Amino acid sequence: MYQQQGLLEYPKNVITTMKKINLWMLAAILTCGLTLTSCVKEDNAAVPVVPGGELVQPENDFETMVPALPGNPEVIAALQKIPGVKDVKCFHNVNMGECYFFNFEQDIDHMNPALGKFKQQVVLKYKGKDAHTVLLTEGYALRGDPEEDKNRLDSILPPDIVTTYKTNCVAVEHRYHGWSLPQGYSNEFTFLNTWQQSSDLHCIVTALKASGMFSGKWVSTGVSKSGETTAYYAYHYPNEMDAYVPYCGPYLTSLNDKRVGTQVLTAPDLKDELEKTKAAIRYAFSNKTLLNQLTAWYATEKAKTVKGMTQAQIEAMFAVDILGNLFDKEGYVHVNLWRSWIPTETSSAEEFYKFFMADKSTKYKNETKQEIAARQALAKHELNVQTGFGFLGRRAAAPAKRLDPYVAQTCVDLGNFSWDYAWFEDLLTPQQWKELNAYELNPKTFGVTYDNGKFINEFLEGMKTTPCKMLFVYGGSDPWTGGAIADDIVNANPNISKMIVQYGIHNDTTSYWTEANKKQLSDFLDPFLK
């Protein structure tokens, strides 16, 4: 996801690996084994110089490949009358049926409208004027099925509460992602921050409400960074929604926040499983015969990446990938599907390797289609460069050409996280230990300035007094819960509440929730959406 330096001496110009994850954010993982772009020896402090003509904006395949439908002429006419709405198109979404696409003309800089406009993508599922409306505050590009990445907008998944309550749905792409590009197809991120995006949402919601097309109540929601976007919108423009439900959003107060990295090996819902997992890792690293076999397979799998590395460096990179795969299991696959698969001292080397690396040939028992898709996405240790960010679809750019706007924003006002290696320090050499703990994102890589946690701390302080009705939802198995909003903040304000879903993972799907968790959500939402 970003250019990494200072962790391991990797060969120049090698594209390293990443664990692809659902609904955001392993983009933040501070490990060379999990990055998107090159691991290089040079200091990348300077803003990258891009040769002229290299960043040519590709064609938006949605506009050319997804056929238009007649739609409801009255809805199309009403949308076309809204100031700022352009390019209205009715189309079929495989998950929501008939939907409407439009671009909304936004200020490039809401503090300086004279700079001009850019087009921001919006998708509307419209059930009628009297229906309530859910605003999906996307944190990335609008996207859907990984196999339909080119035509992302026709496979967008609606938030779970849209399906449950049968509401309208307005999905807004985040600026600088997908085809919503204030500064075009470039590596400039001048107007990328939470206030600018919240102002985008404010302008769209204000225009839609004024149109007379929406008379019901409004609820805003999103998962992961999309959940963060919901919370920041509530902070910057309070009470524009009747209620807010941000799922799984971490609030990180530095570029090296270890709470998420620590949560990977301390999640309370996974106490027994994590003790067995840590024992398995320790056994693998202390049994040199086993470790040599595992790293031999690993080196073969990643031959191009590890070329020129020492055995100690390969072992360190292997440890990084083990943590990344564990992160993925906890965040995206229910514990019932992997708790019995943890290797022990009597397990074969193959069983150790399959558990550590979560390769796509390994099958869990009783997998749902969603879990199969998640596992397959996690297991790919290389990018699909044709789609830029693979199934996440965060941008219309190949990784070697365009820097990741998400990681750029972590260096502006979102913060980032790092692993906590302390629990197995004794298994590493002093040099490995030093290298693994040396890395921190450098904002200069993206031509931006980090605020040193100023915004996030102001946001958290603001939650103590916000008038917004908010329910923060987290998963008990999800590593991102390590960055959850603190209990003392929630307890200070009767307007906000927090729910930890038992064995919950990194999504808003309620099908596996306990009845108590489902009731807590419905008790909050029923007054607004039922």
Share of the chain above pLDDT 90, in %: 63
Q: Which of 268, 251, 264, 246 is nearest to 498 (CA)?
A: 246
Give the angle 394-398-401 at the CA atoms, nearest 5°: 115
Above 80 in pLDDT, residue 483? yes
More confident residue, 388 or 87: 87
- State the pLDDT confidence band at 145, using cuts at 50, 70 and 90: low
Q: Tens of pLDDT along 332-384?
A: 888 988 898 899 999 999 999 989 987 666 667 777 776 776 666 565 433 23
What pLDDT, on a 0 to 100 scale, did the predictor assign at position 521? 98
| Alpha helices (runs of H) in 333-365, residue ranges in sequence order | 349-357
Determine the length of the chain: 530
SS3 90: strand
What pLDDT, on a 0 to 100 scale, did the predictor assign at position 23? 26
Residue with tokens 């904006």: 57
Distance between CA atoms of residues 120 and 98, nearest Å:
20
More confident residue, 23 or 479: 479
Per DSSP, the chain holds a count of helices (H) and strands (E) of 17, 11
What pLDDT, on a 0 to 100 scale, did the predictor assign at position 385? 26
More confident residue, 422 or 181: 181
Distance between CA atoms of residues 334 and 504, nearest Å:
8
Range with the lowest mean pLDDT among 46-50, 99-103, 230-234, 342-346? Answer: 46-50
Query: Model-level pTM?
Result: 0.86
